[in-house]
Amino acid sequence: MTDKVIETRKLVAGYGKMVILHGIDFYVLRNEIVTVVGPNGSGKSTLLKAILGIAKVISGNVIYEGRDITNERLDRISRMGVGYVPQTDNVFPNLTVRENLEMGAYTIKDRNEVRKRIEEIFEIFPDLRAREKQMAGNLSGGERQMLAMARALMAKPKVMLLDEPTAALSPKYVDLVLNKIKEIRDSGVTIVLVEQNAKKGLEIADRGYVLVTGRVAYTGPAKEILEHPEIGKLYLGLKK
Amino acid sequence: MDKVGLVLGIIVVAIIAVFAAINVSYALDLIFFIAFYAIASLSLNLEYGYTGLSNFGKVGFIAVGAYIAGVLSAAFNVPFPLCVLAAAVAAAAVGAFVGIPTVKLREDYLGMATIIIGEMIRILLRNTPTNSVWGGVFGLRGIKPPFAFIKDPLARQFAYVGLSVFLFGLVYWLIERWGNSPLGRVLKAIRDDELAAKSVGKFTYRYKLLSLTLGSAIAGIAGALYAFYFLYLNPDTFIPLITFMIWVMVIIGGMANNAGVVLGTAIVILINRITQIAKDYIKLPLEPNYFQAMLVGLLIILFLMFRPQGLVPEKPVNTPSWEVLEKAEEEGRAKPPGGEEQ
Amino acid sequence: MLKKREVSLLLMMLLLLQSPLYAVSINEIFSKVVPQIPQIFLDTVMLGNLYFLIAIGITLTFTVAKFANFAHGDVATVGAYAAYLLYNFAVIGGVVNGLAVELGYISTIGGLIILSIWYILRRRGYGNTLLALGIPIFLTGLTVLYGCYVGANLVDLIIVAATTSAVTSLLSYLLVYKPLKTRNASLVQLMVASIGVALFIRYALYEMTWYSRTYFNTEIAYQNFGMPMTSYQGWFINGTLVIVNATAALYFMNKIPAIKIGAGGIKLTSLSVEEYYKLPPQPNISFTDLYIWSTITVIVIVLGLMLLFKKTKIGKAWRAVADNPILAAACGIDVESVINLAWLVAGALAGIGGLFWAIRTQIYPELGWMVLLNAFAVAVLGGLGSFWGTFAASYILAFAEQLGVSILAAINPQFTGYRFLIPFSVFLLVLYVKPEGLASIKKRKA
């Protein structure tokens, strides 16, 4: 039996009166990296937001570990073990790096446990240790992205939803971030990755979804999408 | 105008007619008040309804107009039309003075600045020397009536109220013209989405400032009308509550709908008058004036919550909006499962 | 390093303060104002304390709600009235007021009921709002009962003012702003709604004063608070500051408590009547208990808020919600609880501020509204939403006002009626020169 961590069934969602997703069937298996790619405005970010209850689900269901979490409150979903790294505004700028991490571990009651977690995180992201006392708003773009992922990891999530973590990063950081994502997966976290950079995003993924105007245009193993003769050219700007 | 508006409008006119049948002078007074407040609320509608500016100091601009007109008439014997003009210019100047630093900031700043300006003006007027023409707390006296040559008091009142209604009509016509002009569409665009309005190349700052200045000028005219009706001014009549009465009129009537705003004005004033009359017959364990002010607060909240578009909703602009485009796109392809029953 | 804009700000402020001077000889004003400087500083601290207590609430709600709350002043009036009524009418002529006792019991039991409902629902993750409501209602009841049976002291009054205002503030959020936010109300609509709340509260209080006048023959508007104050006077004599308990001088004929502060340290002594009357007729400084109480209160509140924001989990969560509510929720923070807390704290501080304002001047339904406009000036000068900016702005504005009043009085005593214009002028100046307020100056240094 396959173990679906997150599943959406015929998901229709949007903001206010605007409908952006028109019936998405989507799932992630345990401990895989699934990358969602597609052109601008195809509803990639909205898919994540609909899963998390930020965008409004009009019909259809979101299932997390067998429980229906459609339109559930974000803080409750997060307490169930779903980590989220938004594309922009993904750190608290007026909190120090350490405080940002503490906020990530908000659901952990034990203070010693939190301290231990922060040490572990500093092992994974050594750059952050030097900036511990700095305001997160003063970090560079790459450091911010690291902090955002580190913050999401603090709560030991079972799944992490990452919204374009490589957007607006220098090439050096793009590879670094994607490597970290692979490391995080190897530590046992399931990953849903929304990527503008289709090639890089799919390279580290197990499976992929191609979203076009709010519908799933193609789905399959990541390699298959990368090597597909038309999908890449039509939607993703990949060159042969 | 839609059905609700039409029915309510007929009721308002009927009530005024009943008053006129009982006491002509009282009905004239009522009509003057409706005209005066309608001019004020139309000016607020220009600022808030069309442009989304939060002017919480309307009464201050009215006071400026009233006092400038009053002083010019009482001390310098300036004729009535010039007084009105001067009142408009002075109030516009104050509006521009507040607007220049604030309209480019978030709406909070304009709200706070205007409410403070309104109170500043009142305090300044209170503290003018009592032996000067301004009168300080004792008020300003000696305004020359514009229709002094008419001997019969009722006829004189009739002439003045007629003039006020004419001015109201003029203001209404002007704002309606503005609302349907390219400028009006720009103002609405600013209100609905500043970023979008900026990106299509409309310089929002200047239009916002223009809207605030024009609105203030119109409020100044309303003030001048007030001064020449009562021929006496007291700073303590220009309390912030007046501003919020005007806000209620706009909110009840319907944002960016001039006819609706006038209707809202008439409704608020009639409710006010009728409760004033009713309090002599019905004894409640309440002070009716305070109760009315509480009602003003409650009405603001309830309308914002349950009918933010007002009694008479805004008329759609005659250009295709996003929804129309969306619908066209929607029809072009298969309906999504679930649809949009929201 | 001052930037050009800051220089121009300072210059304009100086010009503003000097503008009335041209009417009278500058020397004359100088000779009148300079001796008052110690007093001006004392009054600045006092007035600044009171500004801070009101303005900080505006800042705190602004951090999470992101709109200027025009009802804040009237929330403060509610607390002030609660304290005033408790202080003056809980015990009338030695007899405990039945109405007050009833209210006390209703509030205590009501609070308990709300808390027990919360206790039942808490497992399901609901009802944090009930907790936030239940505690202050319960506390209000307890303090009212304490005031009835034991006697209301200042601490008791502070608590009752804080809790009633906190409940009012939270209710205004739950009943008005929260539903409006879920309906996607715009910023202007939220502001207008807060004005609606302000009008409703203010005129409900007016209605209460009318009711009291008509049915109980008791005037409760424009009354002095009636709290006995000890006044102190101080003289600079040969480099030593002598502070005398001037109220005691009226009662104890031979031993008047005094403090001598000088090069030799601080010494508690007492003066005899002869010594007292040998002092110059005009003291250099004079102040009352209220100066001391308000300063202590502000110190406690500033320390408390610092601890809250820097050390506690919920305080950090508050800052997180202020920064980015969606990300805060993604961290598992119950954003609604944090917002409830923000409205409670802001309301409580408003109540304390309102109480002190009422003690300083008079109690009347428009009290909070009059203070609110000054508090807006403070909040904008501080840069909306900045804690230390608000703190600094409170005292800067208070100083400008006190100094301005002294200058106005030196020119012509009638001009002191214009004192309200001073904070307002500063407000307009800030808008013209530096709309970001003081917070932006601090940020650039960091």
- Identify the CATH number of the domain in which residue A195 sits: 3.40.50.300
Show the DSSP H helices in B148-257 as ranges: 153-180, 182-192, 194-199, 204-230, 240-253
- Length of chain C equals 446
Best residue of A8, A9, A22, A25 to probe chain B, by most B CBs closer than 10 Å: A22
What tokens does C116 get?
Answer: 């027990």
Q: Which residues of A211-238 are buried (b: 16+ CB within 10 A; e: fewer)?
A: bbebebbbbeebeebbebeebbeebbeb
ipTM: 0.90
CB–CB contact A17 B337 (8 Å): no
Count up the domains in chain C and report the number. Answer: 1
The pLDDT assigned to B333 comes to 44
**CA C228 to each of CA B106, C154, C231, C298: distance values in angstroms, whole numbers, following the listed order:** 45, 11, 10, 21
CB–CB contact C319 A94 (8 Å): yes
Tell me the mean pLDDT in the region C107-125. 85
Containing structural domain, residue C261: 231-288
The pLDDT assigned to B202 comes to 61
Q: Please give the share of chain C, as a percent, with pLDDT higher than 70.
A: 91
pLDDT category, A177, cuts 50, 70, 90? confident
Mean pLDDT of chain B, nearest integer: 84
Tell me which residue in B52, B106, B287 faces C210 most closely, judged by beta carbons: B287
The pLDDT assigned to C172 comes to 96
Best residue of A46, A51, A71, A75 to probe chain C, by most C CBs closer than 10 Å: A75
Q: Which chains touch C (3 or more CB pairs under 8 A)?
A: A, B
The pLDDT assigned to C17 comes to 62
Show which of residues 38-67 on chain C sit within 8 Å of chain B, judged by CB atoms.
67
Tell me the mean pLDDT in the region B153-164. 91
Tell me which residue in C316, C319, C333 faces A75 most closely, judged by beta carbons: C333
CA atoms within 13 A on the CB side of B26: 14
HEC states along chain A?
Answer: CCCEEEEEEEEEEEECCEEEEEEEEEEEECCCEEEEECCCCCCHHHHHHHHHCCCEEEEEEEEECCEECCCCCHHHHHHCCEEEECCCCCCCCCCEHHHHHHHHCCCCCCHHHHHHHHHHHHHHCHHHHCCCCCEHHHCCHHHHHHHHHHHHHHCCCCEEEEECCCCCCCHHHHHHHHHHHHHHHHCCCEEEEECCCHHHHHHCCCEEEEEECCEEEEEEEHHHHHHCCCHHHHHHCCCC
Count of CB atoms situated within 10 Å of the CB of C300: 11
**For residues C364 and C31, which has the higher predicted lDDT (pLDDT)?**
C364
Count up the domains in chain A and report the number. Answer: 1
Q: Which of A198-207, B65-74, B175-184, C152-161 has the lowest mean pLDDT?
A: B175-184
**For residues C268 and C80, which has the higher predicted lDDT (pLDDT)?**
C80
Q: CB contact, 8 Å: C293 with chain B?
A: no
Q: What is the pLDDT of residues A28-50, one digit of tens each?
A: 999 999 999 888 888 888 999 99
In a domain, A125, yes or no: no
CA angle B36/B37/B41 to nearest 5° reads: 125
- How far does the CA of residue B13 sit from the closest CA of chain C (Å)? 28
Q: Which chains touch B (3 or more CB pairs under 8 A)?
A: A, C
Whether C352 shows a pLDDT value over 90: the answer reads: yes
Q: CB contact, 8 Å: C241 with chain B?
A: no
Q: CB contact, 8 Å: C178 with chain B?
A: no
Tell me the mean pLDDT in the region C393-420. 86
CB–CB contact C70 B100 (8 Å): no
pLDDT category, B332, cuts 50, 70, 90? very low
Tell me which residue in A10, A17, A23 faces B342 most closely, judged by beta carbons: A17
pLDDT category, B340, cuts 50, 70, 90? very low
Chain B residues touching residue A22 (CB < 8 angstroms):
336-337
Q: Are A225 and A218 in contact (CB under 8 A)?
A: yes
Tell me the mean pLDDT in the region B66-95. 93
Containing structural domain, residue A63: 4-87+159-236
- How far does the CA of residue C424 sit from the closest CA of chain B (Å)? 7
pLDDT category, C77, cuts 50, 70, 90? very high
Best residue of B59, B191, B209, B287 to probe chain C, by most C CBs closer than 10 Å: B287
- How far does the CA of residue B80 sit from the closest CA of chain C (Å)? 32
User: What are the two backbone dihedrals, phi and then psi, of residue B115, each rounded to the nearest 5 degrees?
Assistant: -65, -35
Chain C residues touching residue B205 (CB < 8 angstroms):
none
The pLDDT assigned to B102 comes to 86
In a domain, A215, yes or no: yes
What tokens does C250 get?
Answer: 């009226």
Tell me the mean pLDDT in the region C5-23. 62
Chain B residues touching residue A23 (CB < 8 angstroms):
336-338
Distance CA B32, CA B35 (A): 5
Highest mean pLDDT among B105-119, C304-318, C416-430, C431-445: C304-318
CATH assignment of B3-329? Answer: 1.10.3470
The pLDDT assigned to C9 comes to 65
- How far does the CA of residue C195 sit from the closest CA of chain A (Å)? 27
What tokens does B127 get?
Answer: 């503290």
- How far does the CA of residue A101 sit from the closest CA of chain C (Å)? 10
Chain C: residues touching A (Cβ < 8 Å): 125, 184, 313, 316-317, 319-320, 322-324, 326-335, 446
CB–CB contact B244 C199 (8 Å): yes
Can you spell out the DSSP letters for C95-117? Answer: EE-HHHHHHHHHHHHHHHHHHHH
Tell me which residue in C316, C330, C446 faces A84 most closely, judged by beta carbons: C330
Tell me the mean pLDDT in the region A108-122. 90
Whether B322 shows a pLDDT value over 50: the answer reads: no
Whether C126 shows a pLDDT value over 70: the answer reads: no
User: What are the two backbone dihedrals, phi and then psi, of residue C286, each rounded to the nearest 5 degrees?
Assistant: -145, 145
Tell me the mean pLDDT in the region C251-273. 80
Chain B residues touching residue C198 (CB < 8 angstroms):
297
In a domain, A111, yes or no: no
CB–CB contact B336 A60 (8 Å): no
- How far does the CA of residue A7 sit from the closest CA of chain B (Å)? 18
Q: Are C109 and C380 in contact (CB under 8 A)?
A: no
Domain residue spans in chain B? 3-329
Chain A: residues touching B (Cβ < 8 Å): 10, 12, 17-19, 22-23, 58-60, 214
CB–CB contact B338 A18 (8 Å): no
